Amino acid sequence: MGNILLGVTGSIAAYKAADIANRLTKDGHAVDVVMTRNAREFVAPLTFSTLTKRPVYTDSFADVPEYDVEHIGLAKGAEIVVIAPATANIIGKVAGGIADDLLSTVVMAAAGYGKRIVVCPAMNTAMYGNPIVRANIDKLTELGYAFVEPRESVLACGDLGRGALADTDAITSAITAAL
């Protein structure tokens, strides 16, 4: 099966990424998880390491047992990079070429190596509809990034609109198709 890198960002939908990691692992994929600092406010790394039976990566400067430029090794080892949930912040960073944490540096390197990148937005409907966010999504789409569109739902803040993370089935289907 495939080697998948799952990037998890700081959204309330981060708990759904655990289901995605679990499903992919049960389907026989090797799933490496990179969590942003904000993602760790919603879900603990232990959740992902327990589900994937693999270490979780959280820090660009963490000590590693043997020498490796971590973001490059992770990018090279992945057949596909999936960002779920993808906040407006990570979408903006990637669209702007900003690589200031482990996930954004892995995505930059993976794109440079020609790896497939699947982005699964999750944010408030007003943020998702913001012209800047839309322009960033359009830019990344033109560059070959694939997007799994969010669903319309009642969001965590109580607003009704498009912005809820796509269903796990839709995301895992997109990953399988991209592999």
Cα atoms in the 13 Å half-sphere on the side-chain side of 47: 18
Q: What are phi and psi for residue 120, nearest 5 degrees?
A: -120, 90
| Measured distance CA(155)–CA(30) in Å, rounded | 31
Report d(CA 21, CA 9) in Å as an integer: 14
> Of residues 62, 126, 157, 177, which has the active-site annotation?
157
E-assigned strand segments in the chain: 3-8, 30-35, 56-57, 80-86, 116-121, 146-147, 151-154, 160-164
Is 120 assigned a catalytic role? no
Distance between CA atoms of residues 105 and 86, nearest Å: 15
Q: Rounded to an integer, what distance in angstroms lies between the CA atom of residue 88 and that of residue 20?
A: 20
Q: Which amino acids are annotated catalytic?
A: 157
